């Protein structure tokens, strides 16, 4: 709006309609640069028609004219919209460039982003100026009540200990505190002033103020914009740094038509907003560069810098307080805790890529060997039988001895009739002895899927991992595990990762890494703790001061890159 007004002197026209209402609201929006306030003109309502003359059901249209240079490439309007469509798979975007070419990114899910809750500031993340403003505007008659009602993570015990650590009377009115007292309170917040030699213990802030994209939707967003053969996504459990909750999400897409001799494409996001400039100075890029990608199938000379290969890496940081390197908000500032969290996500995602490449290589060799044996042996047996005048022998045992392998084949398909995803896992024993295995499979439990028609039974190993202990397979035998996944949309779940426990390798499956399960359980525990907000503490009524109604935080939710609210 501001750039449009500065370059052309024209306002921005907005038209918006809610389903069920007969007319659309229209308004021309401008900006009063002196007062830093929005201006409204020509406000009213009108009937909104589609191009075919029918009434539009709902939607929002923004029309702005500006003077700008249109360019193509990595830092173009097209790239910005492409990246926006990846992390907003619920949105449908159509872009017509100056040459008249139409670019369309369709909606791939009807699921809207999770609604976020407002959050009060946490003492560990507050600045001196903000604390001064809050104290001066407070109407509380006691400092302890002010701390409990205006900050997250401050219990009755903690409020008293903060007052003692800061050397301020509990009955002090926040509005009457001087500059030295406010600074002392801030030092108590930050652990510089202690109680009995230890910082005052505070609860972590709630994490329901975050709006992650979620693994399955990242996968769908990447799939609709980039052609590939393999996609891996991961959403880490929420964490807290400097009193601010945050969550890291990553995605890796490999193969397809991407160039193998160029650096991988890096897609950086903060609160769903694309970051297109200063890639080298960004925290998210540094997290990618900190991983030795050579062990995961990508080229990286000296194990430094951005890796090369037919891949794209997505990194998204969701946080209530995104720290940028400058006011331009083009790159994220360094933070050791966030970098380490992003690095852990990269390592886990890289292991998935390595297993995929190894499994694919083994399967290709086995398939070639199997086809060769099935072509040559029957022909030899037929000719030999003709020469000797004997019947053609049964070759099943011979093929089994020559193959000497256990093979797993998996299919994950969408059933149009039942509107469910059908999964089938078949295990073949092409060895000369019996084999016993426990097979494990991933499934989208976190996304709300329900497992149906699982006649083989099994048990839950961890969130999103199911296991089946199979009876011993005799030579030449096979076992089939089949089930359906409900509560999913078409395209939500297209590939199932298979693991095994057993002595003999299974081609088409990966040996279960118990550390992988431990990490899933650790993330599950961290997520539960984040949802619960830590242990509850007893609320102690203070004499002579009723608590009154709790003060509701302003509907800030998740702060956007431009200072607004989601």
Q: How far apart are CA 205 and CA 124, in angstroms?
A: 10
Q: Quote the DSSP letter at residue 124.
A: G
Q: Which two three-digit tokens encode residue 113?
A: 């982003």
Question: Which has the closest alpha carbon to 561: 326, 335, 244?
Answer: 326
Domains of the chain: 1-68 (no CATH), 394-514 (2.60.40.290)
Tell me phi and psi for residue 12, to 5 degrees: -100, 130
For tokens 């007004």, name the residue: 5
Q: Which two three-digit tokens encode residue 257?
A: 């038509």
Helix (H, G, I), strand (E, B) or coil at 48: coil
DSSP character string of 9-35: --PEEEEEE-TT-SSEEEEEEEEETTT
Instruction: Print pLDDT tens along the chain (566 aa).
Output: 888 999 999 999 999 999 989 999 999 999 998 888 999 999 999 999 988 889 999 988 999 999 988 888 888 899 999 999 999 988 888 888 888 899 999 888 888 888 888 888 888 888 899 899 999 999 999 999 999 999 988 999 999 999 999 999 999 999 999 999 999 999 999 888 888 888 998 888 887 888 888 888 888 888 878 877 788 899 988 888 887 889 999 999 988 788 888 999 999 999 999 999 999 999 999 999 999 999 988 999 887 889 999 999 999 999 988 989 988 889 999 999 899 999 999 998 888 888 888 888 887 887 777 777 777 877 888 888 888 888 887 766 676 667 788 889 999 999 999 999 999 999 998 888 899 999 999 998 888 899 999 999 999 988 889 999 999 998 888 999 999 999 988 888 888 989 999 888 888 888 888 877 887 788 777 777 766 655 444 444 444 444 443 343 443 333 333 333 33
Tell me phi and psi for residue 46, to 5 degrees: -155, 160
Q: Quote the DSSP letter at residue 104.
A: E
For tokens 């490449």, name the residue: 357
Q: How far apart are CA 499 and CA 484, in angstroms?
A: 18
Q: Which two three-digit tokens encode residue 531?
A: 């949802």
Handedness of CA 540, 545, 546, 550 (dihedral sign): negative
Q: Which two three-digit tokens encode residue 104?
A: 């369309």
Q: Which two three-digit tokens encode residue 140?
A: 């509380």
How many CB atoms within 10 Å of residue 113?
A: 18
How do 59-63 and 12-17 pair as beta strands? antiparallel
Please give the C-alpha separations between residue 194 and each of 168, 205, 259, 374, in angstroms, as whole numbers: 13, 21, 56, 77
User: Do you know the residue count of the chain?
Assistant: 566
């Amino acid at each position: 709006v501001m750039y449009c007004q500065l370059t052309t002197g024209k306002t921005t026209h907005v038209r918006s309609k809610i389903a069920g209402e007969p007319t659309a609201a229209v308004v021309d929006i401008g900006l009063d640069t002196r007062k830093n306030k929005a201006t409204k003109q020509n406000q009213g309502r009108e009937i909104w028609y589609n191009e075919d003359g029918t009434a539009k059901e709902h939607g929002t249209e923004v029309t702005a004219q500006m003077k700008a240079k249109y360019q193509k490439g990595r830092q173009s309007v097209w790239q910005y919209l492409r990246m926006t469509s990846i992390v907003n798979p619920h949105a449908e975007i159509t872009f017509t460039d100056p040459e008249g070419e139409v670019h369309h990114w369709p909606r791939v899910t009807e699921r809207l982003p999770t609604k976020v809750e407002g959050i009060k500031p946490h003492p560990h993340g507050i600045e001196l100026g903000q604390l001064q403003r809050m104290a001066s505007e407070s109407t509380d008659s006691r400092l302890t009540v002010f701390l409990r009602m205006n900050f997250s993570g401050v219990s009755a015990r903690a409020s008293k200990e903060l007052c003692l650590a800061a050397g301020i009377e509990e009955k002090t009115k926040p509005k009457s505190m001087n500059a030295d007292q406010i600074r002392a309170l801030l030092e108590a917040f930050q652990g510089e002033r202690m109680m009995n030699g230890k910082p005052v213990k505070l609860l972590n802030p709630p994490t329901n103020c975050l709006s992650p994209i979620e693994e399955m939707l990242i996968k769908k967003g990447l799939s609709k914009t980039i052609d590939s053969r393999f996609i891996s996504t991961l959403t880490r459990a929420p964490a807290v740094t400097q009193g601010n909750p945050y969550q890291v999400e990553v995605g890796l897409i490999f193969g397809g038509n991407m160039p193998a001799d160029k650096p991988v494409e890096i897609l950086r996001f903060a609160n769903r907003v694309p970051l297109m400039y200063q890639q080298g100075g960004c925290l998210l890029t540094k997290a990618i560069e900190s991983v030795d990608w050579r062990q995961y199938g990508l080229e990286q000379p000296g194990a430094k810098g951005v890796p090369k290969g037919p891949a794209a890496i997505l990194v998204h940081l969701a946080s209530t307080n995104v720290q940028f390197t400058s006011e331009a908000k083009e790159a994220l500032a360094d933070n050791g805790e966030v970098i380490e969290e992003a690095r852990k996500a990269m390592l886990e995602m890289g292991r998935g890529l390595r297993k995929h490449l190894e499994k694919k290589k083994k399967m290709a060799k086995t398939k070639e060997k199997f086809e060769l044996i099935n072509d040559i042996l029957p022909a030899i047996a037929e000719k030999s039988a003709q020469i000797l005048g004997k019947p053609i022998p049964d070759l099943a045992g011979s093929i089994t001895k020559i193959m000497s392998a256990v093979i797993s084949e998996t299919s994950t398909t969408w059933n149009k009739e039942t509107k469910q995803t059908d999964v089938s896992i078949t295990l073949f024993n092409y060895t000369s002895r019996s084999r016993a295995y426990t097979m494990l499979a991933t499934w989208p439990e976190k996304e709300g899927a329900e497992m149906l028609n699982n006649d083989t039974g099994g048990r839950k190993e961890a969130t999103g991992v199911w296991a089946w202990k199979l009876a011993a397979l005799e030579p030449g035998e096979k076992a089939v595990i089949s089930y359906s996944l409900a509560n999913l949309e078409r395209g939500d779940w297209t590939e199932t990762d298979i693991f095994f426990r057993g002595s003999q390798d299974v081609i088409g499956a990966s040996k279960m890494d118990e550390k992988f399960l431990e990490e899933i359980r650790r993330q599950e525990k961290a997520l539960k703790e984040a949802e619960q907000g830590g242990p509850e503490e007893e609320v102690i009524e203070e004499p002579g001061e009723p608590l009154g109604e709790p003060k509701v935080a302003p509907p800030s939710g998740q702060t956007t890159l431009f200072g607004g609210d989601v």
